[in-house]
Structure 1
Amino acid sequence: MSLRVRDLHVGYATARVLNGVEFDIADGQSVALLGRNGMGKTTLVRALCGLRPPAVVSGSIEYDGVDICRMPVHRISRAGIALVPQGRRVFGSLTTLENLNVVSRRRAADSDDPWTIERVFDFFPRLAERSGSMARSLSGGEQQMLAIGRALMTNPSLLIMDEPSEGLAPSVLDVIQDRLAGLRSSGLAVLIAEQNVDLALDIADHVLVIDDSGTIAWSGLPEALRGDESLLERHLSI
């Protein structure tokens, strides 16, 4: 599976946010989307997943050769795209185990090693310990683990994450970062929209930087961005 975005223009009722965004994500590639607050990262994530608002004004989003630009959310999910939303948004009235079971899905394109409850619990042992706890009672870090595990239970071929490090304590962030690095080596394609530049550069093999014009202002290798102080200052205020 691969994602191909071309000349994408996206807006809300009162404002255009994205203007001519173009990029590709290849099978198994890990891509970081960076940019200051308000540049359109979450808008792009929502557009890719078919969430409304915003609305796609023009352009194309092709996934595995099919234009998904105006597909309903459930069909995009069934095509193999999973979202870990900003703010986690776990089902608070369900247990950890129920959160995972309720979205469980096997797809025809599944690998020989699909994501199951047991595999998610191996990936995040803390979730196994809290399997019977209501999701609302979990810590922020545990809820983030659950949000990632829940997305993996749909057995996606592309995992999109919106600000996965937001609000996490450093010790928990270390665990999340280690697990995300593990996903990178598993062959799963990943797009991570992040404010934490160090985290993003550590786990990605390609970087996109979005600017205040709503376009991709820079695209390249993490090492190139990390070594260019003027670029970091201009686009990310670092």
Structure 2
Amino acid sequence: MSDNILKIAGLKVAYGGIKAVKGIDLEVNKGELVTLIGANGAGKTTTLKAITGTLPACKVEGTMSYLGKPLAGTQSFRLVQQKLAMVPEGRGVFTRMTIHENLLMGAYTRDDKAAIAADIERWFGVFPRLKERSGQLAGTLSGGEQQMLAMARALMCHPTLLLLDEPSMGLAPIMVEKIFEVIRDVSAQGITILLVEQNAKLALQAAHRGYVMDSGLVTMTGNAQAMLNDPRVQAAYLGE
């Protein structure tokens, strides 16, 4: 098998007569941090939901493979067993469970209790705020704290591929900095990441490669640093 972790070819998604994704190609290779940027409504979140099989009723065409195997028809909860984890837009924490219980849920596919406990302490070390509040209900946390929890929970399954959907959305600037610091650290540990993000500058600064999505199509792809310096990207997404 090649170093290819995720490969998408000719992906189309249509809700009735509305074509949300219009035939995109995208791939993520082992150890890469790849970002998908674009305006609201470009089709970025729909693409992630197509990968994870969490779309509402719609028509999906094209091929998607993970670790060389087709994703079509795979039940979404099976993906976690295959070490594909997603932090959804809006965080999706279990609000009526504690921080500690949320982290245990992230490890539900594992039975190595000592290692699970060690991983919880590891992520408490990265997010000290979560440790301070470990017995607190997740629904009472701030947006930034919930984002930390959602990321730590996803990482509890030791993902081969981590999908992040708008992790900075609605967060204060200081919290955005912390989240991106963690994203870069996780990437440095060799975890492969596909990041969907509206903050194009931060996303491209963290990524190895980038894709620009506009109105359901990929309009540009390339080295992230080169894209940061591309006048078209600067004019459309970086406010320069």
TM-score, length basis structure 1: 0.91
Fraction of identical pairs, as percent:
38
Counterpart Cα distance in 1 of 2:159 and 2:108: 9
Q: Aligned partner of 1:102: which letter? A: M
User: What is the aligned partner in structure 2 of residue 225 from structure 1?
Assistant: 227
- Following superposition, the deviation at residue 232 of structure 1 comes to 3.3
CA shift, 1:135, in A, is 0.6
Task: Give 1:33's match in structure 2, choosing from 27, 31, 36.
Answer: 36
Deviation at 1:145, TM superposition (A): 0.1
- 1:49 to 2:52 alignment: yes
What is the deviation of 1:231? 3.4
Is 1:141 paired with 2:144? yes
Runs of 4+ in 1 over 3 A off after TM superposition: 105-108, 112-115
Structure 1 206/107 Cα, relative in aligned 2: closer, same or farther at 3 Å? farther
What is the one-letter code of the residue matched to 1:191?
A: L
Alignment size in residue pairs: 233
**1:71 aligns with one of 70, 74, 84:** 74
SS of 1:175 mapped into structure 2:
helix
Unpaired runs of 5+ in structure 1?
none
Equivalent residue in structure 2 for 1:165, among 151, 157, 168: 168
Please list every run of 5 or more consecutive structure 2 residues that lacks an aligned counterpart in the other structure. none
Please give the per-residue CA displacement for 1:111-157, whole angstroms capped at 9, x wherever unaligned: x9998211211221211111011111111111100010111112211
In 2, Cα distance between the equivalents of 1:3 and 1:220?
17
Aligned partners of 2:181 and 2:34: how far apart in 1?
16
Distance 1:188 1:158 in 2: 7
Of residues 175, 180, 186 in structure 2, which corresponds to 1:177? 180
Q: What root-mean-square deviation, in Å, do the aligned CA atoms of Structure 1 and Structure 2 show?
A: 2.1
Q: CA-to-partner distance for each residue in 1:77-115, whole Å, 9 max, x for gaps?
A: 22221110111121111110011112314569xxx9998
Report SS of the residue matched to 1:28. Answer: coil
Q: Distance in 2 between matches of 1:172 and 1:8?
A: 34
Contact 1:47-1:55 at 8 Å conserved across structures: no
TM-superposed deviation, 1:69:
2.1
Map of 1:150-161 to 2, 5 A cutoff?
A: 150-161=153-164
Q: How does 1:64-143 map to 2 (within 5 A)?
A: 64-105=67-108, 116-143=119-146
Query: Does structure 2 retain, via aligned residues, the 8 Å contact 1:105–1:155?
Result: no
Kept in 1, the 8 Å contact 2:209–2:222? The answer is yes
CA distance in structure 2 between the aligned counterparts of 1:206 and 1:115, rounded to whole angstroms: 33
1:187 offset after TM fit, Å?
Answer: 0.3
Structure 1 residues 36-75: Cα deviation after superposition (integer angstroms, max 9, x where no partner): 1101011001101110225452111111110012211112
2:101, 2:180 → 1: CA distance?
25
Decide which of 180, 190, 193 is 2:193's aligned counterpart: 190
Query: The residue matched to 2:55 in structure 1 has which SS?
Result: coil
1:40, 1:210 within 8 Å by CA — same for their partners in 2? Answer: yes
Note the alpha carbon deviations across 1:5-58, whole angstroms, 9 max, x for none.
Answer: 111111223412111110110111100100111010110011011102254521
| 1:52 match: secondary structure | coil
Q: TM-score, normalised by structure 2?
A: 0.90
Q: Is the 8 A contact 1:114 1:155 kept in 2?
A: no
Contact preservation (8 Å) 1:2, 1:64: yes
